[in-house]
Amino acid sequence: MSEIALDALEDFIAAESKNLDSPKYLRLFEAFAKGIRTGLFKPGERVPTETELTKRLPVSLGTVQKALAKLVTSGLVVRSRKTGTYIADRRSQVEEVFAYRFKDPDTGQVMLPFVRVIAVSIDENKGPWHEALEVDRCVRIDRLVWFDQDPPAFSSVFFAYEHGEVFLDMPLEELHGASSHRVLIENFNLPTLRMEHKVGCRILSDLACKHLLIPSQSMGVVWDIEDYSFHDAPSLFQRFQLPPGHRPVEISERFGR
């Protein structure tokens, strides 16, 4: 996974250092912002840890922490306790997620997740997704989904091969904000009209544990969602694996306008 160019960040900091009236953390914030605005720091690139930044840059740990906090509140970077800090791409804050979204406990507003695609593959293993989609071969997209500062969940989306084939040749960076539902609507006229949910406490898969950075055989919540379209035809299967400590599941469906 690529990181931002620290050499460029050092140059931006040097340029900002001439503004002695501005606090150091704001100069560092502006240096980051300039790198993002000019396109040198690209969406999805990892920002080094606070310790790494302190070692490399002529700033204190407190300055780094304040600058990163302002970058988060400004929407320029996203942070996850498990996966680190990344340059934000507003496309990755999906606006069409039907299932994995939660209400802010303080404001009541809907919170939309950030999404990072890990892998796209052909899946011929027998699982409930094959039975639900009534096919022998699927295209599977594995993702991490999270809200700022929350631990991530592991998500797998399964398509019938004829519907998911389009994803196999796409670069992963183009999929971070791709809406599965939008693809089905635009390419196959398959809007989601109904969902079925199954939620249970189970041992999470080894792959999920690996990417969630938790011990193998950890218990968590497995949340399966079957999507149906016209004539009650199955269109999509989603499996969310939620680690211990994840916020409670909220199930609220709204279809159409």
Q: Are 46 and 2 spatial neighbours (Cβ–Cβ below 8 Å)? A: yes
Q: What is the CA radius of gyration of the chain?
A: 20
User: Residue 21 domain-assigned?
Assistant: yes
Instruction: Go through the chain and tell me how many residues it has.
Output: 257
Q: Determine the pLDDT at residue 199.
A: 95
* Other Cβ atoms closer than 10 A to 129: 24
Instruction: Please list the residues that pair with 225 across neighbouring strands.
Output: 197, 238
Written as six digits, the tokens of 57 are 């840059």
Q: What is the pLDDT of residue 256?
A: 43
Last residue of a domain, one of 63, 87, 111: 87
Residue 81 is predicted with a pLDDT of: 73
**Is the same domain home to 150 and 71?**
no
Among 68, 87, 106, give the residue marking a domain's end. Answer: 87
Q: Are residues 174 and 231 in the same domain?
A: yes
Residue with tokens 């840059």: 57
Q: Are residues 100 and 74 in the same domain?
A: no
Domain tally, the chain: 2
- Phi, psi for residue 58 in degrees, rounded to 5: -80, 55
Q: How far apart are CA 39 and CA 34, in angstroms?
A: 8
Helices 61-73, 24-37: crossing angle, 10 deg rounding: 50
pTM of the model: 0.68
Q: What is the block-wise mean pLDDT of the chain (257 residues), using blocks of 10 residues?
A: 82 82 88 84 88 91 91 79 78 59 79 86 92 94 85 94 90 77 80 88 96 95 91 90 89 56
- CATH number, domain at 57? 1.10.10.10
- Helices and strands counted in the chain (H then E): 8, 11
